[in-house]
């Protein structure tokens, strides 16, 4: 009899909401549509990070795998990536309006996220 292990997620919607400074004490009612959009951003960020770091981390927490579990840098970088994608989704023109400071441009890349996730010029060197 085979037993299928259901992998727990290594980052959660609750952690993303915390990263966005949203919590259960907010006065705004829960919006299932917004949760669905956030979950979609998070799922895309997780899929991207798992694809980029395939073979480096044990994303499924498989007890038979010798790879390390995702570390704090990878988790924070993934949450920050999902947050950035959420911000860009809410500002299709690339600008975000702040009441007291006017408008600001939403960056299409973030060097801090690149460092945490080891992307771009911060990626590990590979041969071949």
Q: What is the pTM of this model?
A: 0.73
Summarised one tens digit per residue, pLDDT across range 3-52 is 444 557 899 999 999 998 865 555 556 788 899 999 999 999 999 999 99
Domains of the chain: which residue ranges?
Answer: 13-22+31-122
Closest to 106 (Cα-Cα) out of 119, 91, 123, 122: 91
Per residue in 79-113, pLDDT (tens digit) is 999 998 888 777 766 666 666 776 666 666 677 78
């Amino acid at each position: 009899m085979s037993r299928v292990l259901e992998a727990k997620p290594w980052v959660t919607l609750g952690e993303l909401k915390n990263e966005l400074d949203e919590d259960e004490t907010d006065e705004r009612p829960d919006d299932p549509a917004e949760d669905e959009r956030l979950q979609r951003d998070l799922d895309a960020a997780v899929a991207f990070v798992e694809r980029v770091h395939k073979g480096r981390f044990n994303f499924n927490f498989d007890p038979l795998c010798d790879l390390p579990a995702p570390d704090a840098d990878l988790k924070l970088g993934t949450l920050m990536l999902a947050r950035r994608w959420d911000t860009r989704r809410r500002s299709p023109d690339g600008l975000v309006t702040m009441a007291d400071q006017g408008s600001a441009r939403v960056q299409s890349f973030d060097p801090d996220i690149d460092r945490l996730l080891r992307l771009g010029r911060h990626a590990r060197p590979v041969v071949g």
